[in-house]
């Protein structure tokens, strides 16, 4: 990326050009292997001599516990669901991402606004409203989309601990059966990510590949960004 800019309206009190660090985002559906790749990437980038800060979805000190409490009751409306995650993002942007970029760090983000847009769009919220809501976001230097088809995703998720209410989109009443609801919901998410991949210049990586092959591809794409 040639110069730092905002996704939309931005934050008027934070000039984007003052943020000299690098922002790298790993996107993809639930259970696709982001955490494994993030851990390997962090160690590799640090060995290249660059300081790293990581951030991820629902890790805001302000609202993470509130999100967990609200989801435990399985009673969130679609709008409240989206606004809670938008608050989580805004808090981490202002208190983690921006300070780290200002200090020249590499910020590795395990999911970003694109996950929020995909999930909320699947729940019927308007894409233009969502892009306006997340207009405060900084445009990443690189977005890597770990893509997997739903049929290959299902056994991974089951092996990792099984299906849960929210990852299965049960709040959307897509199906009475948890398994079928998961399949339908994750299909919607993959469709949303595929749509955004070309619109926002994602680097798409086949998540069906081996861990080492995926990591090699990630390093290949990130290395040029580190030295700019």
Q: How many separate domains does the chain show?
A: 1
Residue 8, domain member (yes or no):
no
| Nearest residue to 84 via CA among 58, 113, 118, 50 | 58
| Nearest residue to 144 via CA among 222, 44, 58, 53 | 222
- One DSSP character per residue, 92-132 reads HIIIIIHHHHHTTPEEEEES-HHHHHHHHHHTT--HHHHHH
Residue 192, domain member (yes or no):
no
Residue 154, domain member (yes or no):
no
Provide the pLDDT for residue 139.
97
Residue 76, domain member (yes or no):
yes
Instruction: Please give the structure tokens belonging to residue 31.
Output: 């259970």
Residue 177, domain member (yes or no):
no
Provide the pLDDT for residue 1.
45
What averages of pLDDT result for each successive group of 10 residues across the chain (228 residues)? 84 94 95 93 96 94 89 85 94 97 97 96 94 96 96 89 89 95 95 95 95 96 89
CA dihedral 150, 157, 53, 209 (to 10 degrees): -60
Provide the pLDDT for residue 70.
86
Instruction: Please give the structure tokens belonging to residue 119.
Output: 């999930």
Residue 2, domain member (yes or no):
no
Put simply, whether the predicted model's pTM sits higher than 0.85 gets the answer: yes
Say which CATH number the domain at 88 has.
3.40.50.300
For 19, the 3-state DSSP assignment is: coil
Residue 78, domain member (yes or no):
yes
Provide the pLDDT for residue 47.
96
Q: What's the domain range around 80?
A: 16-147+201-226
Residue 171, domain member (yes or no):
no
């Amino acid at each position: 990326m040639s110069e730092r800019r905002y996704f939309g309206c931005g934050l008027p009190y934070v000039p984007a050009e003052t943020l000299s660090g690098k922002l790298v985002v790993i996107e993809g559906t639930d259970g696709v292997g982001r955490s494994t790749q993030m851990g390997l990437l962090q160690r590799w980038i640090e060995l290249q001599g660059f300081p790293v800060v990581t951030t991820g979805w629902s890790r805001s000190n302000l609202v993470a516990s509130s999100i967990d409490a609200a989801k435990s009751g399985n009673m969130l409306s679609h709008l409240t669901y989206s606004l809670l995650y938008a608050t989580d993002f805004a808090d981490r942007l202002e208190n983690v991402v921006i300070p780290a970029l200002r200090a020249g760090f590499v910020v590795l983000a395990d999911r970003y606004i694109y996950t929020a847009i995909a999930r909320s769009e699947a729940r019927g919220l308007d894409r233009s409203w969502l892009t306006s809501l997340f207009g405060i976001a900084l445009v990443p230097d690189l977005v890597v989309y770990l893509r997997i088809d739903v049929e290959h995703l299902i056994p991974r998720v089951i092996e990792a601990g099984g299906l849960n209410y929210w990852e299965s989109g049960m709040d959307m009443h897509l199906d009475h059966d948890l398994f079928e609801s998961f399949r339908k919901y994750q299909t919607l998410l993959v469709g949303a990510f595929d749509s955004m991949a070309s619109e926002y210049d994602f680097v798409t990586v086949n998540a069906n590949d081996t861990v080492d092959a995926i990591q090699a591809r990630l390093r290949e794409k990130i290395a040029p960004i580190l030295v700019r």
